[in-house]
Amino acid sequence: MAAPAESIVHGSQATLRQLPSVDRLLRLPAGRALIEQHGHTLVARQCRDLLEQLRQQVSAGLDVAQLEEPALLEALRARCVQALASPFKRVINLTGTVIHTNLGRALLADEAIAQVVALMTGPNNLEFDLHSGARGDRDSLVEPLLCRLTGAEAATVVNNNAAAVLLTLAALARGKQVIVSRGELVEIGGAFRMPDVMRGAGARLVEVGTTNATHLADYERAISERTALIMKVHTSNYAIEGFTSSVGERELAALAQASNLLLACDLGSGSLVDLSKYGLPREPLAADMIGIGCDVVTFSGDKLLGGPQAGLIVGTRKVIDRIRANPLKRALRISKLPLAVLEATLRLYLEPEKLAQRLPTLRLMCRTQSAIRAVAEQVCEPTRRALAPRYTVQVVDMASQIGSGSLPVDRLPSAGLRIAPPLPRRKGAGAALNELAAALRALPEPVIGRISDDALNLDVRCLEDPSRLLSQLPALARTLAA
C-alpha cells in the first residue's frame, strides 16, 4: 500500500527538512512518466537543479505549498520542457528590412529546402565523381553554374564573403602590397574591417587617394616592385555624396594589365541579375566585373543572391587555381548543407523569367505598395481590437530597405501599422512601447518591429501569410492584460 502524501500546511514557511530527495520525486508516478518521456539523465539533472534552487529560496522565505508533490512535479515538468526548448526560433520580420542580418538574412526558396531534405537524409556525392567512380571535388557541384552565370573561367566557394576576401588576399598577396582607395576601406557588421583582414591575410595595405576622391594617378604612383594586387571594394553599406571621385573597374583593369598586376573586386552583397529589370536600383553584377577584366571577384551567397551563407570567388582559371591551392582553402571550405542550398539556388537563375516568383528575397523586394497595403488593412482591425484601449493602430505608408549592406540609400515604398499610446508624448509612452515590443517578441513566433517617432512600426512587406500574425493576437491581448 502506497504511503500517504506528506501533509503540508498552506501559508507557513518551508524548512530545509521538508525538501524531498531526488530519488523520492523520481519514484513517484509522475516522475517515472517524465523519465519514460525524456530519459533518466535529463530528468534527474533538472530535478537536482530544481531542488537546489528551492533550497536557496528556503532561507529567503518560501511558502511551504511550493513543496507539495504536485507543485514540485509540475515545476519539474516545466523545467524539462524548457531545457529542451530551442533558443533558435522562426520570427516574423516586420522591421521593413528585407535582408536583415540579425534575422537570418535571405529566406530560402522551396527548391533549396527540398534539396536539403533530399540530400541531408542520406549519403550524397559531395566529393565523389559519379562518372569515374573516383574521389571528386565539392567545388565541381557549383563551379559550372557559377561560370555560366558570371562568365568566369573558374570558381570556388568558401563559408562566407569575409573568408572569400581573406583567402583571396592570402593566396595572391601574402607578403606583398595591395593597393586600395581610402574611400573603400569599409567596415561591415561585426567590426569586420578591410585593413584588419589585410593584416590577417599577411598582405600589406597601401592606401591611396582620400576619403572622398581617388584618381587613377594615385594608383599609378603607388605601384612598386612589391605590389601584387589592386583591389576595388564596392561600398555597398554606405554612400559618400557631394564632391566625390573614384576610379572604375575598367580603368583599373587596364592599369593592372599594363603593370603586370592582378585586379580583385569585392562586391560584398553581389547580385547575379540586373535588378533594374524588376524596378529596383541596379547593383554591380559579378558578370560585369568579369567582363571588364577583373581577375577575381568575391561576393556573398546570402544577400542579394538569395541563398545560404557562403563566399563565392570567381575569376580566371589561373587565379582560382592559386586560391584553391592555398592551405586556408580547406579551413574555410563550405560544408555540405549550405553547398546543397547554394547549388539549388543557383539553378533557379537558369530560368530568369520565373526568378521573381521562386526566389523569396527577390519576391519580397518586388512587392508593390498596393499589395503590401492590402495586407496592412487586413491585419489592422484585429490588431486594434487586441491592443485596445492601451494603444491606437492605424495603417500608414512606410519605406522599406533592402538591408545587409545592399543599396543603403535606396528605399522601397511600403506600408504597415503604426502603433502608439493614445497620447504618444505623455510621460511613460516610451515604456509602453517597449512593453509592447517585448510582448511581441515573447509570442510563440516572435514578432519583430521597430520603434521610431513615438510609435512601434510594423512594416508588413515581409508578411506574406497574415495568419501568422493574426493567430497570435489573442495571446498578445492576454499578455498585455495580465
Query: Cα(477)–Cα(482) distance, rounded to whole angstroms?
Result: 9
Q: How far apart are CA 141 and CA 344, in angstroms?
A: 10
Q: What is the pLDDT of residues 433-445, one digit of tens each?
A: 999 999 999 999 9
Residue 4 lies in a domain: no
Nearest C-alpha neighbor of 366 from the set 410, 414, 334, 406: 414
SS (H, E, C) the chain: CCCCCCCCCCCCECCHHHCCCHHHHHHCHHHHHHHHHHCHHHHHHHHHHHHHHHHHHHCCCCEHHHHCHHHHHHHHHHHHHHHHCCCCCCCEECCCECCCHHHCCCCCCHHHHHHHHHHHCCCCCCCECCCCCCECCHHHHCHHHHHHHHCCCEEEEECCHHHHHHHHHHHHHCCCEEEEEHHHCCEEHHHEEHHHHHHHCCCEEEEECCCCECCHHHHHHHCCCCEEEEEEECCCCCCCCCCCECCCHHHHHHHHHHCCCEEEEEEECCECCCHHHHCCCCCCEHHHHHHHCCCEEEEECCCCCCCCCCEEEEECHHHHHHHHHCCHHHHHECCHHHHHHHHHHHHHCCCHHHHHHHCHHHHHHHCCHHHHHHHHHHHHHHHHHHHCCCCEEEEEEEEEECECCECCCCCEEEEEEEEECCCCCCCCHHHHHHHHHHHHHCCCCCEECEEECCEEEEEHHHCCCCHHHHCCHHHHHHHHHC
Residue where a domain terminates, one of 317, 343, 358: 358
457 touches 450 (CB < 8 A): yes
CA-wise closest residue to 342 among 113, 123, 127, 172: 113
On whether residue 286 sits in a domain, the answer given is yes
- Pair (195, 329) in one structural domain: yes
| Residue 4 pLDDT exceeds 60 | no
Q: Is residue 3 in some structural domain?
A: no
The answer as to whether 8 is a domain residue is no
Pair (75, 169) in one structural domain: no
- pLDDT of amino acid 3: 44
Q: How far is CA 468 from CA 85, 311, 395, 445, in A?
A: 20, 33, 18, 8
Number of domains in the chain: 3
In a domain, 7, yes or no: no
Is 70 exceeded by the pLDDT of residue 426? no
**Of 128-142, 292-306, 360-374, 417-431, the least confident:** 417-431
The pTM (predicted TM-score) of the whole model is 0.89
Residue 380 falls in which region: left (phi positive, over 0), alpha (psi -120 to 50) or beta: alpha
Mean pLDDT, rounded, for 37-66: 88
Residues 126 and 152 in one domain: yes
Q: Is residue 308 located within the same domain as residue 436?
A: no
Instruction: Provide the pLDDT confidence category of residue 407 given band limits of 50, 70 and 90.
Output: low
- 206 occurs within a structural domain: yes
- 163-166: long-range pairs with CB below 8 Å, 24+: 163/311, 163/332, 164/266, 164/298, 164/299, 164/311, 164/312, 164/313, 165/194, 165/197, 165/266, 165/298, 165/311, 166/197, 166/200, 166/201, 166/328, 166/332
| Residue span of the structural domain in which 305 resides | 110-358
- pLDDT, averaged across the chain: 91
Q: Are residues 129 and 246 in the same domain?
A: yes
Residue 297 shares a structural domain with residue 323: yes
**Do residue 297 and residue 352 come from a single domain?**
yes
Nine-digit cell string for 255: 592599369
188 vs 453: CA distance, rounded Å: 27
Residue that finishes a domain, picked among 335, 358, 381: 358
5-17: pLDDT as tens digits: 444 444 466 577 7
Q: Is residue 382 exposed (0-12), middle (13-18) or buried (19+ Cβ within 10 Å)?
A: middle
167-182 mean pLDDT: 96
| Confidence grade of residue 351 (pLDDT, cut at 50, 70, 90) | very high
Residues 166 and 45 grouped into a single domain: no
Tell me which of 324, 342, 358 is where a domain ends: 358
Give me the pLDDT at residue 409, please.
59
Same domain, residue pair 231 and 276? yes
- Domain assignment present for residue 1? The answer is no
User: Do 474 and 400 have their domain in common?
Assistant: yes
To 5 degrees, how large is the angle CA 91–CA 92–CA 94? 135
Residue 425 has pLDDT above 70, yes or no: no
The pLDDT of residue 448 is 98
Tell me which of 426 and 139 has the higher pLDDT: 139
474 vs 30: CA distance, rounded Å: 31
Of 47, 146, 100, 204, nearest to 449 by C-alpha is 100
CATH code (residue 96): 3.90.1150.180
Please check the confidence at residue 28 and state whether its pLDDT lies above 60.
yes
pLDDT value of position 10: 45
Name beta bridge partners: 231.
Answer: 264
Task: Report the pLDDT value the prediction gives residue 281, as an integer from 0 to 100.
Answer: 86
Same domain, 161 and 47: no
The verdict on 446 and 413 lying in the same domain is: yes
Residue 10 lies in a domain: no
**What CATH number should be reported for the domain holding residue 155?**
3.40.640.10
pLDDT digits (tens, 9 = 90+) for 212-237: 889 999 999 999 999 999 999 987 65
Instruction: Report pLDDT for 428.
Output: 74
Confidence of residue 418 (pLDDT cuts 50, 70, 90): very high
Q: What is the pLDDT of residues 96-127, one digit of tens each?
A: 999 999 999 999 999 999 999 999 999 999 99
